[in-house]
Amino acid sequence: MDGIEAIKQVHKIGELNVLVSLLYIAITIIALVTIGKKIMKILGLETKSSLYKKAQEQRIIDLEKAVKQLRNEIEDREKSLYRKQKGYHEQSIQIRDELKENQEGLSGQITELSQMMQDFINTQNDRTVASFRSSLWRMHKDFINQGYVTPDGLKTFIEMGKLYEQSGGNDIYHSKLLPEVEALEIHYPDGSIYSQKEGI
């Protein structure tokens, strides 16, 4: 019944007057709230809702900063990883090229060393042949001058001749030196371990 009485009272006052009164009350409340906010702002006071709003805004700003920082870190890491991979790739190419170059150089050096060794061996063989030839000629001359050969001398001469042949010399040994030495008389000196019957 209170509602009905209130409606009756509104009719008494007038509907337009009630609406205008309500409008004035609403405007007054809005004005008071606005003035209150401005006064609080001037005085540096804040309401709970404004503090909450500021806190939310700060959280959003902090979150945006964190996302931006994280994005920058990811980009930096990607760039760093790319640079490192590029550097590793360039290093591997450089190492491969250096190894190839060193291998080619080493191959050339091995070939050169092999040729030097072969030349050295050939020179040594030539010297050995020349040395044996000289010794064989000297022994031949000594045997011819004395007119005979001893068993030891003949054995040494034949062994040296074999070494001479193995070293690559065989030109004059078989055609002249050996036949002439073998044609000489074998002379057994006193105290020789060889007997005339056993021979060499």
Q: Report pLDDT digits (tens) over 141-177.
A: 998 999 999 888 899 989 988 888 888 887 788 888 8
Band of pLDDT at residue 1, cut at 50, 70 and 90: low
pLDDT at 200: 47
Show the tokens assigned to 92. Answer: 């591997």
pLDDT at 148: 92
- Considering the entire predicted model, what is its pTM? 0.43
Most confident of 67-81, 124-138, 162-176: 67-81
Q: For the residues of 12-32, what is the DSSP string, one character each?
A: HH-HHHHHHHHHHHHHHHHHH
Residue ranges per structural domain of the chain? 1-45, 124-186
Residue 165: Cβ-neighbour burial (10 angstroms; 0-12, 13-18, 19+): middle
Show the tokens assigned to 24. Answer: 């004035």
- Which amino acid does the sequence have at 58? Q
Least confident of 5-9, 99-103, 123-127, 138-142: 5-9
**First vs last Cα of the chain: how many Å apart?**
164
